[in-house]
Structures are given as structure tokens and as C-alpha cells.
Structure 1
Amino acid sequence: SDGLERDYITAWSYGIGETWTLLVPNTKGGASVPLSENGRAMDKARPEYRQIYQQIGQYWGEQPGTSGPVYVGAFVLALFVLGLFIVKGPMKWALLAGAIFSILLSWGKNFMGLTDFFIDHVPMYNKFRAVSSILVVAEFCIPLLAALAVKELIERPGILKSNKMPLYISLGVTGGVALLFALAPKLFFSSFISTSEMQMFGQALPAEHLQPFMANLTDMRVALFTADAWRSFLVVLIGGALVWMFLEKKIKPEWLIASLLLLCLVDMWGVNKRYLNDGDFVPETNQQNLFALTPTDEYILQDTTPYYRVLNMATSTFNDGVTPYHHKVIGGYHAAKLSRYQDLIDVHLSHEMMALQQAIIETGGALDSTDVRGFNVLNMLNAKWVIMPSQEGGTLPVENPHAMGNAWFVDELQVVESADEEIDALATLDLRNEAVVDARFAPVLEGFQPSRADSLSSIVLTDYDSDFVAYSVNTRKDELAVFSEVYYPRGWQVSIDGEPAEMFRVNYALRGLVIPEGAQTVEFRFDPPSIKVTDAIAYGALVIMLLTALFLIYRVFRAPKR
């Protein structure tokens, strides 16, 4: 794989100003949850806009969404700054470099010079879906240096006796900044509304309500931000007071450590409970109910066809973890989504789903005579069943008679020179009878001339598992078969009657295979050589370890007794 697109990788880029969440968790509102769920913010809401606030999130940063901020603890950050002054040795500089470097990388599209370098030159970096995830390095480095700072204070209490300036600087950089944020938030942040929200409100709200609404929304979010700024200031103030009491020998080292641990625990506990609380843990019966079969599921599961896919348009199709529990699906969710499949979603599926939904509404679900050109790629992906929302709040099953099945033969093959041409061709070709292939696969097709598929030729799925697929094939001539399975050559081994064969990519994302005349079995088996190599290395290392242990035991028993 060539990795993900830059826009996709950097979509979840941490904002430069958003980095202050390390000190004040609600710098950008926290998480993408309804604003109406926050009582402090709703105290500022104007009555006429309360219903709108149920549809607007607390988060106003530039990321598409977030489950919560990256917060290391206000006084932990103060101790980190203090550690830069009092901790000696290379470890300090390594931790500082790790923290700064991870923050710069997390900025993504806001710091494209460094991001471009890593995408272009650092192996595997272009496989990350969210550059902000690199902040986990800062979340490790900052607390570790903070702990080393406490260690220095305990072991060398006189280090700040004659010069308390490092302590004052660390408290000023953290508690002082938090205090300034609390007193003058608009001086440091010019807007509390994201760019995408600005565009949405401009289109959705009447002109006479736009400015009053945005002013009220700003007041609500300022209240969120300043409340957390005061909170962080108080935490730093208490922590600073504890350190001062220790330096003045008013408390013992054990009490300092215990007090700081308790302070940080209360601080982090309070913030963490906002995003992971009792409401996120449900009884097992509730969890089972989430995956309970609906009447629609039961109806679809009566279909005895060996393999088909379900398209659920009654939920967020590509963020759905429930439908895949019972069915093979077009959507679902996985963090390691192939970029080619994401391309199909962006270029074709998102539009075709709307066309299919409209066709179902217009025909009442009777799709037999519908023009299939509006959802040809969905048919190619074998979307035999569609789950539609009903007016009563439930769902309804709709059968798609145009789904192309597990595999089929095509009459014609169009050769193109680029990936763009290949994906664009899917909108114009009759995918039931035609296929498109990139020119770089021409050597695999050498000597084969596509022709009209023989009506007596057949291909039937006989076995299917996550790492094995088998078909029974009977062809009257050499045929070109298209399989409704994603093309991924790294590990998939293909054979025809036990003899190795070579597949190629067709229709931008599917598997193609030239099948010779006759009755035979086609098998796809996921068996990557890399697994065999790593298994051999692991077992070999284990054998060496065992032999070494036996040799050492032998030497101990054979050694002469003194």
C-alpha cells in the first residue's frame, strides 16, 4: 500500500492553540458532545436558542470531532517546567525533545513542513489515520520529567533554598497563564466558533438571528473555558503551596509526596470522569440488548444465499458496529480501512446510497424495474439487502435484485492508464458485463482476449471464511471472472485445481482472474509468507533459549563442588 492521502492523515490535526489543553482541558470545549448537556453553558443560553444547542457540540476546535482533550494535569505540567531547571543530565533533554517533537507532529496540517517530511521519508508514518495520536508521547514524557523533578526536590531540598526563581517561573508559566485565560479569555482566543460552524450557521440561520446567536454561543463557550481555567489555576496554586511548605520544612517529604499524588489524582479523576463515567458502563443485559436481533435482521437472515452484503442506511453506515454483528456489511467500522475502499466511499458510494434510497422511496421497495446505473458500484459490492428507516422509528428490509453476487464473468475489459481513470470508469461502465483494469496488470492478461461470456459457464461460491474462499467453476471457454472481494495481494494465495494462479485488480478495488476452460475449483487463501518467517524466528529463538537454559543447568550440576 502507498499509504493514506495527506488530507486524510491530517484531518485530525491538533490546533496550535488547542495545545493549551495540556494545561486547561476545556480550551476548545472538551469533547464533541451536545452543548445542551453542560449545565454551566446552558445557564448562559438564551431561551429561543435552547433547542438549537441540542444539535451543536461543546467542542469548537478544527478537528472533525474528538472524544476528549489531551490533558496531563495542571500541576504535573508545572512540575515538568520546574524539572527543566532542577533536573540534571541527558534524560531531561531527551524528555523535553520527545514532548516538543510529538506536539509539533500532532499539529499536522498546521505545521506541514515537518508533517510532509515525515510522510515522505519516515517508514510507516503515512499509515497513521490521526496525527494527533502522537501526543501519547508527550503524555509519557511530561509526567516522567515531573516525577524526576519531585525526586530532585526530595533528595536535594536545598536546591531551591537560595534561588526560588525556577519555582516562580514554573508556577507563572502554568498557573499564571491559567489565570490570564480566566480573566481575559478573548484576549488570547479571537473566536470560540470553528470555521465549519461559521459556514454552517451562515447557511442555516436567518440573517437577523445570526449575530445574536453567535454572540450567545460565544458567551456559553467562554463560560466553559474560563471555568476550567480557574480550576487549573487553583490546582497549580495548591500544588505550589505544598512545595513551598516543604521547602520551609513545614511538612515532611512523605507528606509532600502523598499530598501531590492526592492532588493530581483528584485533578485527573475530575477531568477523566467527564469522558469515562458510570454512564459508560452498562449491565450485561443492556449490552446484549444492543445486539439483539430486530425483526428486520430476522427477515434478512432467512435468506439462505451463502454470502451477500447488507447496506444499513438507518444508521451511520460507515461508523456502525452493530449491523456487522449479524451480517456481512457494506459499511461497518475499522480503524485500518484500506485507502482504496475509502476512495470508493468518497467517489461513488456516498452518492449511490442517496440514489438508492430515493429509488426505494419512489418504488416502495420494488426495485425490479429500476435503472441500476445510479447504484452500479453498490451492486458490484453485492449489496443484496438494504435496511431502511421507517416512519415509526424502526427499520424495514428491502431486497436489491440487482446485486451481482459473489462472482461473475464479463464480456469486455477496458484498459486505462491511471487510478483516476479506473475509478471514474465505474460510473459509466455496465459492470455486470464489463470491467476496467489498470495497464500495469497487462502482463498478467498476456495471451487472453476477452469475449462474450458463455451463458452455460458457471461460477458458484462453495466455501467462505475470513482467510479462505472457494468457488466451483465450470467454463465452456477461457473466461474472465470478477470476484466481489477486495483485492489485496499481500498474503492472498490463489490456486486453480491446486495449481498457483495470479490474480489482478479490476474495477479499482476487486479481484480479477482468468479461468481456463473446464470444470475446476478456484481457491483464495490468506497465507502471507511473513507470518511463516516470523513464526520460524520466534520458534527458533525459543529453542535457542531452552538449549541455553539446559546448558547452564548442566554446567551448574557438573561444576566441581568446593
Structure 2
Amino acid sequence: MDKQIVKDCWRKSWPTVLAILFFAIVSLAYFYPATFEGRELFRNDVEGASGTAQDVRDYESATGEHSYWTNSLFGGMPMYQISPSYPSTKALQEIQNVGTLRAPLNIMGNYAWLLFAMMVGFFIFMRSLKQDVIVAVLGALFWTFSSYFVILIVAGHIWKLTALCFIPPTIGGMIWLYRGKYLKGFVVTALFTALQIMANHVQMSYYFLFVMVAIAISFFVQAIRQHQLGAYLKSTIGLVLAGVLGVAINLSNLYHTYEYSKETIRGGSELTIKPEGASESSADANKSGLDKEYITQWSYGIGETWTLLVPNLKGGASGYVGMSPELMEKVSDITSDPQSQQILAGMNQYWGDQPFTAGPVYVGAFVLALFIFGCIRVKGPVKWALLAATILSVLLSWGHNFMSLTSWFIDYFPMYNKFRTVSSILVIAEFTIPALAVLGLVEFMKHPKESLKDVRSWGVALGLTFGAGILFYILPTVFFNFVSTQEQEMFNQAMSGNGQLISMIVNDLTALRVSVFRADVLRSLVVILLSIVPLYLYSINKLKPLWTVVLVGAISLIDLYTVDKRYLNDEKFEEPLSVSSKAAPQTEADKLILKDKTPGYRVFNMTVDAFNESTTSRWHNNIGGYHPAKLQRYQDLISFQLARRNMQVLDMLNTKYFIVPSHDGKSQQVVPNPGAFGPAWFVKDIKVVNNANEEMQALDSTHLRETAVVDKRFVSNELSSLKLMTDTTATISLMKYAPNHLEYKSLSKEPGLAVLSEIYYPHGWTATIDGKPADILRVDYVLRALIVPAGEHTIALDFHPKSVKTTELVAKVAFWILLAVMILSIALPLLRKQDEIKRLDEDNEDHTKEDAK
């Protein structure tokens, strides 16, 4: 390569290289010293899912083969949304590892790489908006250190955060496309679409489609005004093709997620009946998606939205007041009464509308002020798209607090009913607010005197932030309620209507919370005041542009950084051994059960919330477990049968052991279940029912060891012709057991229906009898069954979905296309530069010859 090309490339790229180095240093600094000492974070969601699919990991370690089915939770389910792993994405994963400095050397550790990727991604987005490097760095800091993102790390929502890392650069590629940078825009859009989808958090990608649609509409309006519809169409085609390529690379994951989702709680239930004791609201369940009550359980309060300005507006994270020494000092200052102090210590630090929270959504006090300023001063299509997306994000985050809008989206907007925790849509606002804030700052820097004279812009921006803060500080109880109705009712019940005591407790609790609230309001006011100073000095030519941006950025970074440290600090990190022992402790009860090497049995742990934990799955095949997308039929079984401990159903699930509390309640004990049916059995009779309702109700009274309940849709001529089995010596035994392979031996004098204590799933499982294909039937609402001929036979069931091979082929071809276009996007500019230098050299040579003549 020509030396001049190298020099030109370095001259253009060194500021970006320095920015990336800065991002790496900041990321590592946040996790210092834990990263360098090898300490790890004990994350709440990781605890809940630590044991999930342990059988698959053990199987892969022993055989080198990956199973797409696990038996470790809910009796068995596909792996598609537990730990999706497909060969076609391994190369893409390596690209991600290199780009996030985790390969070939793991420079960034287990956590710092997430912050690093967040900053680099937003930096790319800001550069697509034609912003200088220093301004792009500022935007990256604003975005990355918004409190919600570090809280995701604490909660263990790593897939969600990984998807969010790659969404801003995807949008950056889109903007390059609409600004005529076709090849660069195509590559960036396709690459980061592929990376964000690989992160396997469709909800985040779905939410940001709103932003992308808003941007596309804004550019469309601009194209009409400027009579450039041809260029707009060309860009849109490029955008669609890039999106298709990114999707195709992840086709294996997306297709099987789609296929699986139809069978999960997101696909809805066939049942039209309600479980015993169910609330009337459950009758309004959305049969094609999640229940509305479930979707909106985590809804941001309307007043709680002010946490964008004041982090502790609602107290921060959930937790007892008594767990905070700082709060207990405040309690001591407020009251000396021991009873009141004890009651206050047991109250929640968080007093917002959500059931509980790991922390607030805080974007920075002055960042919010700049955003509002930018809403008024900034011009262009991107501004309107960002503003519209912000408003929509906030309104939809209110969930059941603004049910008219939320219901409309759930009922009529495609796929919206597939996702829960509507408050998480505020990630859009966390993207749009810093983006428009930076654009607002740039607008001020370009026209400082004009901006200062624009009283309307600054008046609204400071009025809604600084002015609101002053009012909140002076009149907190006028604007906010510090003791909820539920807490009032709790006090009434606990204190037997003792009005004087209740009044004292309510007053003390209000005083405590107002104290917390005011402290953070004052903090936000100080941040805004400090940030205004460098802008004012710049406007009167007392401060240079670079230092103005640096000072504004430093103040906001300190602001965000210190709030983040409330939730993710060095004290959260522990030694690896401590983390692993906490995640899935092996109890004496577990050890006792593990002595039983019989394959295929299951365990029901009744000492925990069995259907919302997965630590039991670390050691056993679990009747319970936790997963937000469990099979709908199994959820129905939980609601109608397992919740009321129907022993017939527990027996058919081969529940061989129960873990129950000991008599003193301090430990666990094991109760064997001799009535468990075993891994497979022949039934004598068949009970045909008309629909799902009858099938579920039949489980209430049918002797399931003797009779199989079959939906008429599974009744074939062969099944109808089966006679009652009279052979009392017929046996079927499980000989080989792996997550994706089961092998049985059967012996009977007459043909019969064999019920297998395995969860039925209609896609991917195949069965053979003596090597010949056999049909898998569904019986007893959730189990598999086979018609087995008389005699001695070998029965095998395998889970090797043919669809994986097809989707893998498409995904690999798509990846090679992306790789080729990426190489082309790098090579073409270099070749053009080389041709340009060659032409210049030839021109110089011609001039030299002419001069010589």
C-alpha cells in the first residue's frame, strides 16, 4: 500500500482511535479494582437461571454435541430461548469479541466490555449525524451512563444490554444510507442488525423499530420537500436489503424462536375455562398473546417519569430502609421512638408504582435540559423523529397508568402483546434524549449569542428542569404522594385502627421520604447550575469550544457516574467461589437424591417458589423452574393441576422425589414418592375428549396410570382400532437417556398405547420403532405417547429438528455475503485513493516533462 495512503488514513482516523482508547479506559475504570482482581458480580437473574439447562451443558461436555432440548425445567422444553447456539453465528460472535476487545485477549473482562460497546455504538451513531469526534464522545457518555443500563448489569439482563449496544450503530447505518453513503450505510446497518439480533432480545429490537420508522418517515417528508424521492427510494431499498441480510444471518435463531413462540405463553392458550380461584380479570386474557395484566405489571408511574430529572424521586431501588445505614441515620434524626424506628426500618426504600425495581431511569439533569432546548432549537428530520419517539416511549411506559393507549397497542399493534414489562420501553427515551441533547448543545455552540437571546428555548428548557426542581423542593407533598394507599391500609390492619399511632408512622415515613427526595432534587439543581456556567463563559468568549464541551461533559459524567455507583459499585463484587456457591448451592437433600442414578425421574422442590426459580434445575430434572417463555400447555398444567398438587398429575410426570421443609423449618428433607409412574407405561384404556377444556378437566378424576386422555384431533384409525389391553405383564423400560435422545425397550403380548413421561412438543421430535418411523401422539394434555406393536421392540426418540439444517445453510450464505461486502467497503476507498494518487503522480510527471521542454 502506498505510504501516502497510510498517512492519510492515519491522519483521518487518529482522533477516532483516541476516542476508542478513552472508552476502554473509562469502561475499565468503572469496574476497578474488581475486574483486575478477578471478582465477579452476583446478579439476581443469574441466580434465578443458574441451573437452567445444566443437563445440556453436561451432555455437550461429555459428547461434544449440542442439544436443542433440555429436561432440566418444567419437565422439558426447547433450548431456543434459554441459550441459543448455532454454528452459523460462531464467526459473527468472533467478530463481536474482537470488536469489544474480548479477543484475541480478553482486555475488558466480564463486564467492562458492555460499557465499551455501548459507547462505541453510540459514537458511531453520532458520527453518522456528522458530529465531530469530541461531540460524539460526549453523546456516547450521556447514553452509556444513563442509570438503567448499569442497573441491567446488576440484574443480570446481559442479553438485553448486549442488544442495546448494537442498536445505535444500526440506526447510524440507516442515517448514512439516507444521506447517500450507500455502501458504508449498508454494511453498518447489516452488520449491527446481525449483532443485535444475535443478542437474542427481540423486545429491544422491536422497540427500536419505532425509532427507525420515525426516522424513515422524517426523511421521506424531507425527500418530498426537496424533490429527491428517487434517492430516498434507493436508500430505503438498501436499508431493507441490509435488514434482510442481518436477519438471514440469524435465521436459525429467529425461525425457531418464531416456531417456539406459538407454543408458549406468548402464543396464548386453547383453554376457555379458568382455574379454581382465578380472578375475574383473568377472563380477559389475551388468547393470542400475554395477559394484559401480566404485560403491564411493571408500568412506570406517570409522576415517576420525573426520575429522568431526579434519580431518587421515588427512593431508588427496592429494599428495606433498615438495610441502609445512611437512611437509618435519617430515621434517628426524624424520630426517637423505638417502635416508629422499627416500623420505618421495615419499610421499602422505593415508593413508586412498580411491584419492585432495581433502580430508576435517570438520564442526567442537565442532559434533560439540553434535550428540551434541542427540541426547540434543532432543525431537520432527525430532530422530529427523535422527539416523536421520545413522546411515544414515555406514554407507553406508563402501561396500566395510561391503559387506553396501552390497550390499543396490545390489541391492534403487531407483536406488541408478546412482550411484558412495558416500562422497559423507556430505553427509547434513554437513546433519544442524549442524542437530541448533544444536537442541542451543538446548536448552542454554533450560535451562542442567538441562542442566549432565544428566551423561549431556554425558558422552556430551564423551566421544565430547574424551575420544576425548585417547586418540587419547596412543595414536595403538593406534587407527590409519599405514602401509598396500600401502605395506609397495611398500617390500619397492623395497628388495629389506632389513629394516633398510624398518624405518627405516616408522618415519620413521609418525613423520611421527603428528606431523601429533597436531597436528590437539590443535587439535580446544582448539576444544572454548574453546567450552565461553562456555556455562559463560552457565549461571552471567555472559554474555548473544546474546553466548553469537555467541562459540560465532565459535569454530566460525574453526575451520571455517581448515581450509577449507587446501584453497581465495587461492594457488589465477590470472589468467584462465593458467587458460584450462592448461585446454585447443593443441599444435603440434593446430595441424597443424586445417589439415585435411575434415569428420567423428576424432583418437585416445595421449599421454594417452585415455578419461579431454577436453582433446583442445577442438580435435578425439575417439575418447576423459571422462564418467561415457558410452554403454554405446561403453564396450563401448573395453573389447573400442579398449583393444587394433583398427585395423579405429579405421578404421571414421574415425580419421584419431593423436597420439603424439615420439621424445624431450618433445613430440607427428601420425601420419596413410590407412586410415581416411572418414565413410561402401557395404559389399558383410552378416554377420547372433544377439546382442550375437556382434556384438562379429565385430569381431575381419571386414573392416569390405567387410562390415557386423548384429544380427538390425535385419534387416528390405528388408535381407534386398539383394543383394551389385557396383558398385565407388558413392560416398557427406559434404557438410554440424554436431553435429545431417548431409547426404550418394550415387551408385550398385544399392541398397546405406551405413554412416555416426556413433555410433548410438536416440532423436531421424531420417533422410530425398530428403526421404522412412528407417529408421536399427545396424551394427558402434555405428554407423548406411541402405539407399540405386540412383541419385543426398541423405541427411539430424537430431537434433531430438520429445520436447523435448512436455516443454517441460509445463515451461512448470508454471513459470507456480508463478509464480502465488508471487504469491498474497505477495499474500494483504498483503491480509489490509490488511483487518485496515481493520477496526481502522472499529472506531476507530465508537468515536469513540459517544464523540461
- The residue type equivalent to 1:24 in the other structure is V
Which runs of 5 or more residues in structure 2 are unaligned?
1-261, 268-288, 843-853
Cα distance, 1:170 vs structure 2: 0.8
Task: Tell whether the 8 Å contact from 1:4 to 1:339 is kept in structure 2 after alignment.
Answer: no
Verify: 1:335 aligned to 2:618, yes or no.
Answer: no
Match of 1:314 in 2: 607
Matched, 1:481 2:760: no
Q: Does 1:258 align with 2:550?
A: yes
**For the residues of structure 2 that align with 1:462 and 1:117, how far apart are their CA atoms?**
53
For residue 387 of structure 1, what is the aligned residue in structure 2?
659
Listed one character per residue, the Cα deviations across residues 393-413 of structure 1 (whole Å, up to 9, x for unaligned) are 332222222233323333344
CA distance in 1, matches of 2:737, 2:573: 36
Quote the Cα distance in structure 2 between the aligned partners of 1:183 and 1:536. 65
Q: Which one of the candidate residues 74, 83, 89 is aligned to 2:365? A: 74
How far, CA to CA, are the matches of 2:578 and 2:380 in structure 1? 53
For the pair 1:119 / 2:418, whether they are aligned, the reply is no
- Alpha-carbon shift at residue 173 of structure 1 (Å): 0.6
Instruction: Supply the distance in 1 between the matched residues of 2:813 and 2:363 (Cα, whole angstroms).
Output: 43
Contact map agreement 2:300 2:398 (CA 8 A) in 1:
yes
1:135 and 2:426 correspond: yes
Match for residue 98 of structure 1 among 384, 389, 408:
389
* CA displacement, residues 526-545 of structure 1 (integer Å, 9 cap, x when unaligned): 33344323211122235556
Code of the residue aligned with 2:655 in structure 1: it is A
Whether 2:704 is the aligned partner of 1:431: answer yes
AA of the residue aligned to 2:438: A
The answer as to 2:315 corresponding to 1:29 is: yes
- Residues 506 and 49 of structure 1, relative CA distance in 2, 3 Å threshold: farther
- The Cα of 1:210 is off from its aligned counterpart by 4.4
Q: Which amino acid aligns with 1:301?
A: L
| Preserved contact between residue 483 and residue 506 of structure 2 (Cα < 8 Å) | no
Which of 531, 547, 550 is 1:239 aligned to? 531
Q: Distance in 1 between matches of 2:786 and 2:674?
A: 25
Please, which of 442, 445, 459 is the counterpart of residue 154 of structure 1? 445
Shift of the alpha carbon at 1:471? 2.8
Are the equivalent residues in 1 in contact too, given 2:725–2:750 (CA < 8 A)? no
CA distance in 2, matches of 1:11, 1:313: 26
Letter matched to residue 729 of structure 2: L
Q: Does 1:304 align with 2:597?
A: yes
Q: Is the 8 A contact 2:351 2:482 kept in 1?
A: no
1:86, 1:159 within 8 Å by CA — same for their partners in 2? Answer: no
Tell me the equivalent position of 1:463.
Answer: 736
Larger RCO: 1 or 2 (CA < 8 Å, sep 6+): 2
Match of 2:800 among 524, 527, 532: 527
Corresponding residue SS for 1:11: coil
1:278 aligned partner:
570
Structure 2 CA distance for partners of 1:302 and 1:20, relative to 1, 3 Å? same
SS of 1:173's equivalent in the other structure is helix
Deviation of residue 275 (structure 1)? 2.0
Deviations 1:164-222 (A, max 9, x none): 43123111112222222222222122453264x45544544422154543443333333
Change (3 A) 1:239 1:508: farther
Counterpart check, 1:295 vs 2:567: no
The separation in 1 between residues aligned to 2:719 and 2:416, in whole angstroms, is: 37
**Partner residue, 2:540:** 248
* Residue of structure 2 equivalent to 1:505: 778
Partners of 1:419 and 1:170 lie apart in 2 by 58
The answer (yes or no) to whether the contact 1:62–1:194 under 8 Å persists in 2 is no
Deviation of 1:343 after TM superposition, in Å, equals: 3.4
- Secondary structure of the residue aligned to 2:808 is helix
Q: 1:330 to 1:546 in 2, by over 3 A?
A: closer
Is the Cα–Cα contact under 8 Å of residues 171 and 240 in structure 1 kept in the other structure? no
SS at match of 1:154: helix
| C-alpha spacing 1:443/1:298, structure 2 compared with 1 (3 Å) | same
- Answer yes or no: is the 8 Å Cα contact 1:469–1:525 preserved in 2: yes
Aligned match of 2:300: 14
Structure 1 stretch displaced more, 447-456 or 229-238: 447-456
SS at match of 2:637: helix
Report the counterpart of residue 355 of structure 1 in structure 2.
none
Structure 1 letter corresponding to 2:701 = T
By how many angstroms is 1:454 displaced? 3.6
Q: Could you tell me how far 1:85 is from its partner in structure 2?
A: 1.3
Q: Counterparts of 1:350 and 1:453 in 2: how far apart (Å)?
A: 34
Tell me the CA shift for residue 83 of structure 1: 0.9
Q: 1:17 to 1:427 in 2, by over 3 A?
A: farther
Contact 1:444 1:504 (C-alpha < 8 Å) held by counterparts: no
The structure with the largest helix share of the pair is 2
Q: Retained in 2: the 8 A contact 1:468–1:524?
A: yes
Q: Which residue of 2 aligns with 1:228?
A: 520
Tell me which amino acid in the other structure corresponds to 2:650: L
Separation in 2 of the partners of 1:403 and 1:80?
A: 63
- 1:171 aligned onto 2:443: no
> What is the SS of the residue equivalent to 1:474?
strand
Which residue of 2 is the match for residue 207 of structure 1? 497
Partner secondary structure for residue 671 of structure 2: strand
Work out whether 1:344 is the aligned partner of 2:637. Answer: yes
Inter-partner Cα distance in structure 2 for 1:437 and 1:194:
49
Label 1:54 to 1:395 Cα distance change in 2 as closer, same or farther (>3 A). farther
Question: In the alignment, which residue of structure 1 is the partner of 2:331?
Answer: 42
Secondary structure of the structure 2 residue equivalent to 1:207: coil
Quote the Cα distance in structure 1 between the aligned partners of 2:341 and 2:724: 65
User: CA separation in 2, counterparts of 1:153 and 1:55?
Assistant: 48
Q: Would the aligned equivalents of 1:296 and 1:387 in 2 still touch at CA under 8 Å?
A: yes
Please list every run of 5 or more consecutive structure 1 residues that lacks an aligned counterpart in the other structure: 353-373
Contact residue 655 and residue 676 of structure 2 kept, 8 A:
yes
Q: Kindly provide the amino acid, as one letter, of the partner of residue 794 in structure 2.
A: T
User: C-alpha deviations, 1:362-416, integer Å up to 9, x for none?
Assistant: xxxxxxxxxxxx5333333333222233327332222222233323333344444
Q: Distance in 2 between matches of 1:7 and 1:229?
A: 33
Q: Pick one of 291, 308, 318 that aligns with 1:5.
A: 291
> Structure 1 vs Structure 2: percent identity of aligned residues?
44
Q: Does structure 2 retain, via aligned residues, the 8 Å contact 1:36–1:50?
A: no
Provide closer, same or farther for how the CA distance between residues 457 and 5 of structure 1 changes in structure 2, counting only shifts above 3 A.
Answer: farther
Residue in structure 2 matched with residue 361 of structure 1 by the alignment: none
**C-alpha distance in 2 between matches for 1:453 and 1:23:** 75
- Change in CA separation of 1:546 and 1:72 when aligned onto 2, cut-off 3 Å: closer
Deviation at 1:522, TM superposition (A): 3.3
**Mean Cα deviation higher: 76-85 or 160-169:** 160-169
Asked whether the equivalents of residues 315 and 351 of structure 2 are also in contact (C-alpha less than 8 Å), the reply is yes
Work out the CA distance in 2 between the residues paired with 1:57 and 1:408.
52
SS in 1 for 2:724: coil
Q: Is the contact made by 2:722 and 2:752 (CA closer than 8 Å) also made in structure 1?
A: no
Distance in 2 separating the partners of 1:551 and 1:79: 40
Q: In the alignment, what sits opposite 1:360? A: none
**Partners of 2:450 and 2:690 in 1: CA distance:** 70
Distance 1:53 1:383 in 2: 44
Whether contact under 8 Å (2:732, 2:746) holds in the other structure is: yes
What amino acid is aligned across from residue 439 of structure 2 in structure 1? L
TM-superposed CA distance for 1:495, in Å, is 3.6
Map of 1:402-417 to 2, 5 A cutoff?
Answer: 402-417=675-690
Deviation at 1:448, TM superposition (A): 4.5
Q: CA deviation at 1:150?
A: 1.9
CA distance in 1, matches of 2:340, 2:694: 48
Counterpart code for 2:497: A
Deviation at 1:140, TM superposition (A): 1.3
**Structure 1 residues 187 and 543, CA, compared in 2 at 3 Å: closer, same or farther?**
closer
Cα shift at 1:91: 0.5
> How many Å apart are 1:449 and its aligned residue?
4.6
Q: Which amino acid aligns with 1:29?
A: G
- Cα distance in 2 for partners of 1:475, 1:175 equals 83
